[in-house]
Amino acid sequence: MPAPTNQAAWLIEADTPLQVDDAPLPTAGPGELVVKNAAIAINPLDCHMQDSGVFVQQWPAILGCDVAGEVYEVGPDAQRFKTGDRVIGHAINLVSGRPQDGAFALYTVIPADKAAILPDAISFTDGVVVPFALEAAVCALSLKVPGVAMPGVSTPAFGLPYPSLQHPVPSSGKTLVVYGGSSSVGSMTTQLATAAGIDVISIAGAHNFDFSKRCGAAQVFDHKDPLVADKVIEAVGKSGQNEFVGIFDAIATPETYAHDLAILAKLGGGHLACVHPPPADVPVNVKAGMIFAINDVTTPVWKDYVTPALQAGKLQCLPPPTVIGKGLEHIQDALKKSKAGVSATKLVVEL
Ligand SMILES: NC(=O)c1ccc[n+]([C@@H]2O[C@H](COP(=O)([O-])OP(=O)(O)OC[C@H]3O[C@@H](n4cnc5c(N)ncnc54)[C@H](OP(=O)(O)O)[C@@H]3O)[C@@H](O)[C@H]2O)c1
């Protein structure tokens, strides 16, 4: 049989539309898999990289972080998988800079440590919403020691437990506020924190209260309510013996920072983990940091949790996908729609 050919949606230079063209068929190095992609997902990071060229190390570039598909080749030291396995995985072009590590292609290289078998009952378009959000959520929750997110900005170190397969999961006696509970990263953080026995108080749009509760939030407050900070403070106060550990801010704007700091001031401080650089000049009782969503801390979750949790319905493929089209040429349209903003959904392209 002739070797298959690869194609990719290439970014030739910053602030230009992606161009679909031939690409080399990648090969799997040690600890790597080549995946024949059946679906890819769009993240705000992709739009940011396309617009500004930031983080691109090698031109032309292939962007994209989320893949779902079948294993085409297994590299040395990746024998947890075999050819033909249905998998989801996190593509790490952001740190490697190699085009073959970008998701927007027919074939992508992913680290086996950032992949998991996708149960047969779950479609590729559902499964592909999980990888990058899961990596970000675990980085937000479970790092024990602060690292470096970018020069001068440390990562948060909540040191919270990994999600557990136990049902019901015992309470950890801790309460976490998730700001942006209907976003991709916020909803996944809500799911994983809840599965670690942490009580989540979420802040989301009023139309997404049910969605955030489906992800496990104990209570949800409207981000447009002018009294949202007071209501969150009151809710945390009522959470009994629980220890308030802090806030994960999955939105990270001046408006959300003002609320974060008001909440932390009233509750005696705590961690403030943000998806962008945290506010300057935080009080000494606030440990602020920015997540960096590629870290080996996620390996045990990928290896031991994702597949059985998906199988058991404990890890849900949320937010649900909105499929924009089939084929690499639809990725540009999906990026445009992502920039316009989404609510409790992840934009997906089938391949
Ligand atoms: N540092 C890192 O490593 C890292 C990793 C991943 C993502 N990120 C960043 O994290 C951010 C979120 O990414 P994502 O993919 O999760 O975004 P997303 O799903 O596209 O975010 C959309 C959601 O944001 C919510 N939202 C908007 N404004 C809000 C506000 N003021 N309060 C509460 N919720 C609000 C909306 O809620 P409603 O519709 O309910 O109103 C909507 O559901 C992006 O800026 C991304 O670049 C950073």
- Residues 131-160 have pLDDT tens digits of 999 999 999 999 999 999 999 999 999 999
CB 188 within 8 A of CB 180: no
- Look at the pTM and tell me if it is higher than 0.95: yes
Confidence at residue 300, expressed as pLDDT on a 0 to 100 scale: 98
User: What is the total count of domains within the chain?
Assistant: 2
Q: Is the CB of 198 under 6 A from ligand 1?
A: no
Tokens representing 297 are 């801390």
Q: How many other CB atoms are there within 10 angstroms of residue 60's CB atom?
A: 15
One-letter amino acid identity for 266?
K
User: Mean pLDDT score of the chain, rounded to an integer?
Assistant: 97
Confidence at residue 13, expressed as pLDDT on a 0 to 100 scale: 97
Nearest to 100 by CA among 131, 61, 129: 61
The answer to whether position 35 is within a domain reads yes
Confidence at residue 96, expressed as pLDDT on a 0 to 100 scale: 97
CB 256 within 8 A of CB 279: no
Confidence band for 281, pLDDT divided at 50, 70 and 90 = confident
Neighbour-count burial for 16-33, b at 16+ CB within 10 Å, e otherwise: eebebeebebbebeeebb
Best probe residue, ligand 1, of 94, 187, 225, 275 (max atoms within 8 Å of C-beta): 275
- CATH label of the domain that carries residue 170: 3.40.50.720
- Check whether residue 125 and residue 138 sit in a common domain: no
- Check whether residue 30 and residue 166 sit in a common domain: no
Mean pLDDT of 276-291: 96
Which atom of ligand 1 sits closest to the CA of residue 345?
19
- Check whether residue 206 and residue 90 sit in a common domain: no
Q: Is the CB of 177 under 6 A from ligand 1?
A: no
Q: Is the CB of 137 under 6 A from ligand 1?
A: no
Tokens representing 288 are 């602020």
For 283, the domain range is: 134-290
- Check whether residue 118 and residue 178 sit in a common domain: no
The answer to whether position 297 is within a domain reads no
Confidence at residue 8, expressed as pLDDT on a 0 to 100 scale: 98
Confidence at residue 141, expressed as pLDDT on a 0 to 100 scale: 98
Which atom of ligand 1 sits closest to the CA of residue 203?
33
Confidence at residue 75, expressed as pLDDT on a 0 to 100 scale: 98
Confidence band for 241, pLDDT divided at 50, 70 and 90 = confident
Distance CA 52, CA 50 (A): 6
Cα four-point dihedral sign 51, 56, 58, 63:
negative
Tokens representing 116 are 């998991």
The answer to whether position 298 is within a domain reads no
* Measured CA distances, 343 to 36, 117, 211, 317 (Å): 29, 28, 11, 15
- Check whether residue 30 and residue 81 sit in a common domain: yes
- Check whether residue 185 and residue 269 sit in a common domain: yes
> Coil, strand, or helix at residue 211?
helix
Which domain-ending residue is among 248, 274, 290?
290
Q: What percent of the chain is modeled with pLDDT above 70? A: 100
Best probe residue, ligand 1, of 42, 177, 183 (max atoms within 8 Å of C-beta): 183
Give nearest CA residue, ligand 1 atom 40.
205
Give nearest CA residue, ligand 1 atom 1.
275
Give nearest CA residue, ligand 1 atom 4.
275
Q: How many other CB atoms are there within 10 angstroms of residue 343's CB atom?
A: 12
- Check whether residue 116 and residue 173 sit in a common domain: no
Best probe residue, ligand 1, of 55, 185, 191, 192 (max atoms within 8 Å of C-beta): 185
The answer to whether position 93 is within a domain reads yes
- Check whether residue 214 and residue 325 sit in a common domain: no
Asked if pLDDT for residue 130 goes beyond 90, the answer is: yes
- Check whether residue 61 and residue 190 sit in a common domain: no
Asked if pLDDT for residue 2 goes beyond 80, the answer is: no
Pairing of strands 270-274, 286-290: parallel
Asked if pLDDT for residue 262 goes beyond 90, the answer is: yes
Confidence at residue 1, expressed as pLDDT on a 0 to 100 scale: 72
Low-confidence winner among 33-42, 85-94, 196-205, 231-240 (lowest mean pLDDT): 231-240
- Check whether residue 148 and residue 284 sit in a common domain: yes
Rounded to the nearest angstrom, the distance between the alpha carbon of 251 and the centre of ligand 1 is: 5
Confidence band for 239, pLDDT divided at 50, 70 and 90 = confident
The answer to whether position 299 is within a domain reads no
- Check whether residue 110 and residue 39 sit in a common domain: yes
Distance CA 10, CA 18 (A): 5
Distance CA 315, CA 195 (A): 9
Asked if pLDDT for residue 240 goes beyond 80, the answer is: no
- Check whether residue 139 and residue 125 sit in a common domain: no
Which atom of ligand 1 sits closest to the CA of residue 256?
31
Confidence at residue 238, expressed as pLDDT on a 0 to 100 scale: 87
Distance CA 291, CA 271 (A): 12
